Amino acid sequence: MSIAKRINLLVLAITAVAVAFVLLFSTQRQYLSDRDTLLESSASYLRSQPQLQYEIYAGNTDALKDSLQALLGLSRAAAFAAIYDVDGQNMTSMIRGPGIARPALGQLRRGASPVESTVGLADGGRLSDRMPLLSIILASDKGLHQTLPVFALINPGREGLSRSDFEQALMRPSQANSLHVVGFVQLSINRWTLLSEGLYELLPLFGACLIFVLLSTIVTRRITQSITSPLSRLHQLANDIADGRFASRVEASDGGEVKEIMFALDHILGDLDSYRSRISVDHRLLSLKVEERTEQLSRRNQELNRAVREVSHTRNELRKLAYFDALTSLPNRRLFSEQLALLIRLAKRNNQILGLMFLDLDNFKRINDSLGHRAGDLLLKEVASRLSSCVRESDVVAHYVDSDSRIDVSRLGGDEFTVVLNQLASEEAAGIVARRVIETLTQPMTIDGHELVVTPSIGIAIVPRDGSDVDEVLRCADTAMYHAKASGKNNYLYYTQDMEAAGLDRLRLEAELRKAIEREQLCLLYQPQVDTVTGSVIGAEALMRWEHPELGRVTPAQFIPLAEETGLISQLGEWALGAACQQLLDWDQAGHHLDKVSVNVSASQISEHFISETEALLARTGIAPERVQLEITEGLVMEDSASTIDALKRLRALGLRLSIDDFGTGYSSLSYLSHFPIDELKIDQSFIMDIGKSDNDNSLVIAIIAMARSMGIGVVAEGVESDVQYQFLSAQDTHVIQGFLFSEPLSATDFPRLLDPFHFMGQIQSMPRTLQAASTEVRQIGS
Ligand code: C2E
Ligand code: CA
Ligand code: CA
C-alpha cells in the first residue's frame, strides 16, 4: 500500500473516530435532555391539574382518561400511562402501542416513600445517567417508568367530600394543615423512541460531521498527494532506472528533502549517464577485441586442425615408412620379419609347411647405373606390381597354396624381394610358383621408353625343413638365391645343405673379396677372338677369376655382381685393366705378339677417377692405347647422358678402343649408336645360342650385322659354340668369332700357344661341307 493511501486511511480513521465520539456524545446529551424535559413536563403537567385530586377521589374515570390522554400527548416516546388510588389500585390506564413491559406500581415504587416521585426501570433499578446509550442498547426492555404521587390538601380518608371541598382547600391552602396523597400517576417512556426522536434533532450535526469527514478526506488527499507525488516520481524514476531507461536529467521542482534527493539523483544519473557511455564505448571496444580474438582463435583452431591433420598424416606416413617400402608400397624388411615370424610360429603349431622365396634381379645394378636411378625405380615398381599380381592370381597359387592363407610380397631393399608362401600344399609347389614368377617377370617391360627384359634369380627355403626362425630361413633363401644366380641367373633353386659347404654366403664372400686383390687371389683368363678368314687370333678378352684357397675357382657370375653392389668393382676393374696391359707387354717381351686385349668395364666404374687412372696406366706402362679395348655393356652406352658420352669420348681421345658388350640384350634403338664413339659391337651370346634352333628367327642378328657394317663398326660374335652358328655367321660375313668353338678362356701361361699365325686354319677348313651348304641356305633366307 502506498504511503499516500496509508496516510489517507489513517486520517480518515482518526476523523471517523472523532466524529463518532462527537455524535455519541451529542446523542447522549440530547437523549438526557429530552428525557429530563419529558420527566419535568409530566410532573409540571400534574401540578397544573389540581382537579385531578378530586377526580381520583371521586373515581371519575372519564376525566382521568382525559388527563392520561394529555399526558401521553406530551411526547411520542410516552408509551403508557396509568392512574392508581392511594392503595395502588389501578383506576385507569392508557397505552400507546406495544413494546415495553408494564410492571406493577408496587414494584416500581419499592423502597420509596409515598410522597416521593420515582423514575426507574422495569426491574426496579434506579435510573443512572452513566452511559445511558449503552444501557438502552443492551437492555432487553427499553422502558423507563416515572411514578408521581398526587397530593390533596384535605384528607381524602373522609367520606362524602364534594368537588367544592377540594376547590376550597385549594383556594385556601394556608388553612390546610397537612398534605395527603390521594393517588399515583405512572408514565412509562419508550427510551428507544425517545432516543430516536432526539436523533432528528441531531440531523444537522450529522450532516456537518459528514461534510467534515468529506472535507478532511479531500484535504488529506491533497496534502498527501503534494507530499507523496515527488516520492512517487522518485519511485517511478527508481523503477525506470531499474528497467534500464532513464532520462538524462531529473527536474527538481519541489522543495525540501525531496528536492535534495532529486539533486542527488540527478547527480547520480549524470554520473550514471557518463558511466553508461563509457561502458558502451568499453563494450564496443571489448566486442571489437572479442571479434579479433575470436578470429584469431578460429585461425588458431584451423592451424591446430591442420597441424593435427599433418601430425596424423605424418604418423601414418611414419608408419608407412616404418613398415612399408616408399618406392613400391610393399611391406619392408621390418614388416616382413614380423609377419614371417608370426607365420613361422603358426606353421609350426599347425604342422604346415611354409615357403620363402628370396628373389634378386639379375644385372639390376647395371640397369640402374646405365639408365639412371629414375628408370631403376620405375623398373622396381613394375617388378613389384608384377610380382604382387602374379602371386595373388589365384590360378597360379590356388592349387599349391591354401587359398585362405596370405601370400605376401615384400621388398627387403635394392632389388631384393621376398614372397612368403604360407600353408604350402607341398615343397614342390614353391618351385611351380617360382617358375610362374620367372615367366611373368621376364616378359619385356617398357621403362622410360626403353624396352627391357629383367630376369630374377630365386632362392627357396622351406619351413620347418631349412630353419625355424626368421634369420635362419632368410639366410637359407638368400644362399639359395645366390647359388641360383651363380649357376646362370634367371633361375630358381631350393636351399640345400651343400650350399653351405660351398661357402657362398654373401657376407663371407664380400669380406673375402675385399682381401682378394692384396692376397693376389685374382687372375685373368684370356679367350681368343679368331679371324676366321685367316684362322689367326686377332685379340683376346680378359676374363677375371678368383682363385680362393678354400672355395676354389670362383666365377665372375658369383662375385662380379657382388663387387658391383659393394663398390669393390672399381678396384677389381682397375686391377684387371692394369694386369691385362702388363700381360700384353709381358707376352711382347716373350716374343708372343697379340694385337689387342679387351677388358670388361662395369658401368659403375666409369668415373673421373677411372679416366685419370687409365691415363696414368697408359703413361706408366707405355703401351700403345689402340691395343687396349674397353668392353662396356650396352645399357651404359645407351644412357642418354652428356657426361657418359663425354667420358667415353675422353677415353677414346686417349687412344683406347671401345666395344659394346652384350649388344642386343638392352634396350637401345640402333640409331642411337651413331651418337657414341665406338669401334666394335659384340653380339650377345643369347642370340648366337639361338642360331640353328629350328623355330628361331635370326633376322635380328642379320639386322645388327648389317647396321654395324653400314656404320663402319666392327662386329664380334661371342659365345659361338657350334659349327652351325659359325656357318651362319660366316654367311653373314662376320669373321671375328669368340667362343668355345675355338677355345675356352685360357690362363696367361696357356694362351700364347694360340698365337701362332693361322693357328685355327686347320679347324676351320675341317668344318663339314654340309654345314657350309646349310649356311648358304641361311644366307639366302637372310637376304
Ligand atoms: P662377358 O663379358 O659376356 O664374357 C663372356 C662370357 O662368356 C665369359 O664368361 C666366357 O667364359 C663365356 N663364354 C665364352 N665363350 C662361350 C661359349 O662358347 N659358350 C658359353 N656358354 N660361354 C662362353 P665368364 O668368364 O664366366 O664371365 C662372365 C661375365 O663376367 C662376363 O661376361 C663379364 O660380364 C663379367 N666379367 C668377367 N671378367 C670381368 C672383369 O674383369 N671385369 C668386369 N667388370 N666384368 C667381368
Ligand atoms: Ca665381355
Ligand atoms: Ca658378353
Q: What is the pLDDT of residues 313-324, one digit of tens each?
A: 888 878 777 888
Q: Is the pLDDT of residue 657 over 90?
A: yes
C-alpha grid cell, residue 238: 527508481
- Is the peptide bond between 464 and the residue preceding it cis, with omega within 30 degrees of 0? yes
Ligand 1, residues 370, 487, 543: which to mutate, most atoms within 8 A of Cβ?
Answer: 543
131 or 622, greater pLDDT: 622
Query: What distance in Å separates the CA atoms of residue 31 and residue 133, rounded to the nearest whole number?
Result: 8
Q: Whose CA is nearest to atom 10 of ligand 1?
A: 745
Distance 57 CA to ligand 2 centre (A): 198
Surrounding residues of ion ligand 3, Cβ less than 5 A? 661-662
Query: What distance in Å separates the CA atoms of residue 704 and residue 312, rounded to the nearest whole number?
Result: 57
Region 237-255: mean pLDDT is 70
Non-local CB neighbours of 748 within 8 Å, separated by 6+ positions? 523, 524, 526, 583, 586
Contact predicate 464/353, CB 8 Å: yes
- pLDDT of 419-444, one tens digit each? 998 888 888 889 988 998 999 998 88
Distance 544 CA to ligand 3 centre (A): 13
Among the listed residues 189, 258, 191, the one whose alpha carbon sits nearest the alpha carbon of residue 227: 258
pLDDT score recorded for residue 667: 53
Query: What distance in Å separates the CA atoms of residue 633 and residue 650, rounded to the nearest whole number?
Result: 18
Which atom of ligand 1 is found nearest the CA of 662?
A: 3
Which atom of ligand 1 is found nearest the CA of 599?
A: 41
Q: Is the pLDDT of residue 170 over 90?
A: no
- pLDDT of 442-457, one tens digit each? 888 888 888 888 889 9
pLDDT score recorded for residue 739: 96
Q: Is the pLDDT of residue 659 over 90?
A: yes
Query: What distance in Å separates the CA atoms of residue 719 and residue 684, rounded to the nearest whole number?
Result: 8
Q: Which alpha helices (H) appear in 80-190, and where do they start and end?
A: 105-108, 132-138, 163-171
Q: Is the pLDDT of residue 665 over 80?
A: no
Sheet holding 491-494, edge to edge: 407-413, 416-424, 353-361, 456-463, 491-494
| 25-39, 169-183, 389-403: least confidently modelled range | 389-403
- pLDDT of 493-526, one tens digit each? 999 887 876 555 667 788 888 899 889 999 999 9
Q: Which alpha helices (H) appear in 48-99, and where do they start and end?
A: 51-58, 61-72
- Residue 57 pairs in a beta bridge with none
Residue 751 DSSP code: G
C-alpha grid cell, residue 90: 389501578
Ligand nearest to the CA of 665: 3
| 308-312, 368-372, 746-750, 756-760: least confidently modelled range | 368-372
568 or 256, greater pLDDT: 568
pLDDT score recorded for residue 399: 47
pLDDT score recorded for residue 202: 87
pLDDT score recorded for residue 487: 73
Region 92-114: mean pLDDT is 84
pLDDT score recorded for residue 126: 65
Among the listed residues 342, 562, 318, the one whose alpha carbon sits nearest the alpha carbon of residue 457: 562
Among the listed residues 363, 773, 394, 388, the one whose alpha carbon sits nearest the alpha carbon of residue 603: 363
Distance 61 CA to ligand 1 centre (A): 192
pLDDT score recorded for residue 613: 95
Ligand 1 binding pocket (C-beta < 6 A) is 527, 543-544, 555-557, 560, 573, 576, 600, 602, 631, 661-662, 685, 719-721, 739-740, 745
CA atoms within 13 A on the CB side of 596: 20
Q: Whose CA is nearest to atom 17 of ligand 1?
A: 719
Distance 25 CA to ligand 1 centre (A): 159
Distance 523 CA to ligand 1 centre (A): 14
Q: Is the pLDDT of residue 60 over 50?
A: yes
Q: How far is CA 661 from CA 541, 560, 632, 683, 685, in A?
A: 11, 15, 5, 7, 10
Q: Whose CA is nearest to atom 7 of ligand 1?
A: 719
Q: How far is CA 524 from CA 32, 551, 647, in A?
A: 173, 17, 26
Return the SS3 of 669. Answer: coil
Non-local CB neighbours of 532 within 8 Å, separated by 6+ positions? 726, 730, 735, 736, 737, 760, 764
Which atom of ligand 1 is found nearest the CA of 564?
A: 44
Please tell me the total number of residues recorded for the chain in this structure. 783
- Residue 660 pairs in a beta bridge with 632, 681
Which atom of ligand 1 is found nearest the CA of 602?
A: 44
Distance 684 CA to ligand 2 centre (A): 9
Ligand nearest to the CA of 725: 1
Q: Find cell 542527488 and name the residue.
A: 264
Which atom of ligand 1 is found nearest the CA of 721?
A: 18
Q: Whose CA is nearest to atom 20 of ligand 1?
A: 719
Q: Whose CA is nearest to atom 43 of ligand 1?
A: 600
Q: What's the one-letter identity of residue 150?
A: V
Distance 543 CA to ligand 1 centre (A): 6
Q: Is the pLDDT of residue 586 over 90?
A: yes
Ligand nearest to the CA of 663: 3
Distance 682 CA to ligand 1 centre (A): 12
- pLDDT of 739-762, one tens digit each? 999 999 999 999 999 999 999 999
Distance 615 CA to ligand 3 centre (A): 25
Query: What distance in Å separates the CA atoms of residue 367 and residue 454, rounded to the nearest whole number?
Result: 9
Among the listed residues 181, 97, 180, the one whose alpha carbon sits nearest the alpha carbon of residue 147: 181
Q: How far is CA 350 from CA 98, 398, 408, 464, 467, in A?
A: 136, 19, 19, 11, 16
pLDDT score recorded for residue 783: 41
pLDDT score recorded for residue 477: 94
Q: Is the pLDDT of residue 181 over 80?
A: yes
Percentage of the chain lying above the pLDDT 70 cut: 90
Q: Is the pLDDT of residue 198 over 90?
A: no
Region 453-472: mean pLDDT is 91
pLDDT score recorded for residue 397: 46
Percentage of the chain lying above the pLDDT 90 cut: 35
Sheet holding 90-95, edge to edge: 90-95, 78-85, 180-190, 143-152, 118-121
pLDDT score recorded for residue 178: 80
Distance 197 CA to ligand 3 centre (A): 165
Query: What distance in Å separates the CA atoms of residue 489 and residue 456, rounded to the nearest whole number?
Result: 7
Distance 684 CA to ligand 3 centre (A): 6
Ligand nearest to the CA of 571: 1
Ligand 1, residues 565, 600, 680: which to mutate, most atoms within 8 A of Cβ?
Answer: 600
- pLDDT of 253-294, one tens digit each? 666 777 787 788 778 878 878 888 888 888 888 888 899 899
Which atom of ligand 1 is found nearest the CA of 601?
A: 44
Ligand nearest to the CA of 688: 1
Q: Is the pLDDT of residue 298 over 70?
A: yes
Q: Is the pLDDT of residue 392 over 70?
A: no
Q: Which alpha helices (H) appear in 244-329, and where do they start and end?
A: 256-323
Q: Whose CA is nearest to atom 27 of ligand 1?
A: 556
Region 160-177: mean pLDDT is 81
Query: What distance in Å separates the CA atoms of residue 53 and residue 183, rounded to the nearest whole number?
Result: 8
Does this model's pTM top 0.85?
A: no
Burial code of 464-493, b = ≥16 C-beta within 10 A, e = fewer? eebbeebeebbbbbbbbbbbbbbeebbbbb
Region 155-183: mean pLDDT is 83
Which atom of ligand 1 is found nearest the CA of 569?
A: 44
